[in-house]
Amino acid sequence: MYSTTTIFPLLRFAFLLLLLPLMISCSSLPEHVEKQPSFALNDYQQTAVARVLADVSAKHPQQSGFFLVDNGADAFTARIAMTGLAEKTLDLQYYIWEADATGRLLSDNVIRAAARGVRVRVLLDDNNLHDRDQMLAVLDALPNVSIRIFNPFANRNFHMADFLGDLERVNHRMHNKTMVIDNALAVVGGRNIGDHYFSVSQESNFRDLDVLTAGPVVRKVSEQFDYFWNGSWSIPISALVELPSEDEQQQLLRQMRARISQDHYPYPLSSNYADLLNQLQRISARLQWGDCQFIWDDPANVAEGKIVNALYQQLQHVQHSLLIEAAYFVLGERARAEVKRLHQAGVSIRVLTNSLVTNDVLAAHAGHANHRQELLENGVSLYELRPDALEKRPKIVSLKSRAALHTKAMVFDNSTVYIGSFNLDPRSGFINTETVLAINNAELAQQLTAFMDDGVKPENSYHVVIGADGDLQWHTIEQGQDVRYDSDPHSSAWQRFMVGMLQLLPFEHQL
C-alpha cells in the first residue's frame, strides 16, 4: 500500500502531466522586445585602472598581461575589488549566480558600484535562475543597472515544459564566465558565482582556476560581451516578468541585506579605494605578458565547434607533453583517435578529472567511465580527484567539506596554456557557448603546471591504472600507506549501479 508521502508526489506529477500541453501551448517569449544597444567603454585609457596599468603595459606593446588566480578566497576578493575599482563600466557574464552568501555579497557590491554612477550590465544564463525573477527585476530597476537573460525559458515557473516543447532552442546554454571593469581589466576562467567556487561552503568546494588579465585581450572579452548582450538571444528581465510594487522592491532589498549581515563571510574584504589601487599596482608588477587569443563560441552557430577546432589545430604542434585538468572528461571518437596519434608520436598525456564521488553529474562520469580503459591503453596517465583532497584546503572552511573539481585548463609543451570555461566533453564542444584564453607564455605555463602537479599528488587524487588482471585499479596513499581500490573509491553500490545504467543509454553526445 502507498503511503501519503508517496501518493501526494505521484498525484502532483500526474497533475503536471495533465497540465503540460496547456503550459507548453500558452507560454511563449515576447515577440517584439525593445532594448537599447550598448557597448564597452571606448575611452578606457582615461580610467584610474587603465592609468595604473599604463606603465607596465607600455613595456609589452601588443601583448596582454595575466595573473593566475588558483585560490577560491582570492578569486572572490578579486571580484569584490573590481566592483570597488570600477569607475565607468562593469560587465558581468555568468552561467550560474547563486543566491547564497557570496552571491548576495557580490550583488550588494555591484549595487554600490551602480550607486556611484558606474554603468552595470549583467548577463545571466537562465538555466539556473529558477524562482529568482522578482529579485532580478528589482535589481534591474535600480539606476545604472541592466540585467538580461540569455536564451530565456518561456515558462518562467516550469522550465521542464520548455525542454519538452522547445528542446532544440533551450538545450543551448551560455556557459561563459567573464567580468570586465572599465574595458581595462578582466577576470576569465571556470568559476561561476557561488560559495562552492570561493572556498566558503561547509559542504563542498571546487578546485578551480581564473585568470586576471590586462591589455588588448580585455577589449576582445568586451567585444564578446557586447555581441551576446546586443544579440537576439539576450532578453531584458523587464520584458519577461512584471516589476514588483515599490513596497515589495524595498522589502526584497532589505531582506537581501539582512541576509548579508547574517552570512558572516569569513575572509577579509577591503572597500577602501586607495587600498584597492595599491593592490592592483602590486598585482600589475607580477603580471606575465604574452600573445593571446580569446576564443569564444557564436551562439548563432555554436555547433561549428570553434574552440574544438582551435584545440585540434593546437594539438598538431604538440611535440612533448600535454597536461589536462577538466571537471568533465568525455572524449568523442575523433578526440580518442587524436589521443592515440599523440601517444604514437611520443607525446606524454596526463589528465586529472573528477572521480565518481566528486563528480556532481553522474551522467558525465558515466560518459568518462565508458572510455577509461581505452585511454589508458593509449598511454594516458589518468588521475581522478579524491573527495578529501588537501590541496588549497582553506583552514576557515570545515574539514568535512568535500572537494570537487571544476578547473578547465591545459598546458601544451610547457609553453602554451588554455584556460576558460571549456570542458572536454561534447556539450562544451558543440551545444553550449564557451570561452577560452589561449596564452603563449612559458612562465605562466610553469605556474599552471605547478598548480596541476599539486592536483595529482597521492594525497589529492587516485591514479587509475590497468591491473595485472586487465581490470582498472585506483592507487593512492592514505595515512602513509599505499592503498589500491578495485572499483571507484568510496563510491556506493547504488552510485556504481546508476553509472552502469547510464552507460547503456545513447546520450553521450549530450554530455
pLDDT tens per residue across span 55-66: 999 999 999 999
pLDDT tens string 36-87: 999 999 999 999 999 999 999 999 999 999 999 999 999 999 999 999 999 9
Question: What is the predicted pLDDT for the residue at 157?
Answer: 86
Question: What is the predicted pLDDT for the residue at 28?
Answer: 83
How far are the Cα atoms of 4, 297, 367 from residue 432, in angstroms, in the given order?
41, 8, 17
Question: What is the predicted pLDDT for the residue at 511?
Answer: 86
pLDDT tens string 142-196: 999 999 999 999 998 888 888 888 999 999 999 999 999 999 999 999 999 999 9
- Looking at residues 437-461, what average pLDDT do you find? 97
Alpha-carbon span 113 to 271, nearest angstrom? 11
Instruction: Check if the beta carbon of residue 475 is closer than 8 Å to that of residue 484.
Output: yes
pLDDT tens string 351-386: 999 999 999 999 999 999 999 999 999 999 999 999
Question: What is the predicted pLDDT for the residue at 341?
Answer: 98
Share of the chain above pLDDT 70, in %: 92
Q: How confident is the model at residue 209 (pLDDT cuts 50, 70, 90)?
A: very high
Alpha-carbon span 18 to 6, nearest angstrom? 19
Element (H, E) at 75: helix 72-85
Of 288, 282, 157, residue with least CA distance to 214: 288
Q: For residue 13, is pLDDT > 60?
A: no
- Looking at residues 303-331, what average pLDDT do you find? 97
Q: For residue 451, is pLDDT > 50?
A: yes
pLDDT tens string 467-493: 999 999 999 999 999 999 999 999 999
Residue whose grid cell is 502531466:
17
Domain map (residue ranges) of the chain: 34-284, 297-510
Evaluate whether 34-284 and 297-510 have a shared fold: yes
CB atoms within 10 A of CB 382: 24
Q: Which three cell numbers stand for residue 229?
A: 548582450
- Looking at residues 348-352, what average pLDDT do you find? 98
Query: In the chain, how many H helices and how many E strands?
Result: 17, 20
In the DSSP assignment, the letter for residue 188 is E
Q: How confident is the model at residue 130 (pLDDT cuts 50, 70, 90)?
A: confident
Question: What is the predicted pLDDT for the residue at 85?
Answer: 97
User: What angle do the packed helices 101-115 and 246-263 form, to 10 degrees?
Assistant: 120
Distance of CA 149 to the CA centre of its chain: 17
* Collapsed DSSP state (helix, strand, coil) of residue 68: strand
- Looking at residues 279-285, what average pLDDT do you find? 95
Question: What is the predicted pLDDT for the residue at 202?
Answer: 87
Q: For residue 236, is pLDDT > 50?
A: yes
Question: What is the predicted pLDDT for the residue at 2?
Answer: 36
Alpha-carbon span 156 to 26, nearest angstrom? 12
Alpha-carbon span 361 to 363, nearest angstrom? 5
Homologous superfamily of the 34-284 domain (CATH): Endonuclease Chain A (3.30.870.10)
Question: What is the predicted pLDDT for the residue at 398?
Answer: 45
Homologous superfamily of the 297-510 domain (CATH): Endonuclease Chain A (3.30.870.10)
Cα torsion 103, 108, 109, 112 to 10°: value is: 160
Q: For residue 109, is pLDDT > 50?
A: yes
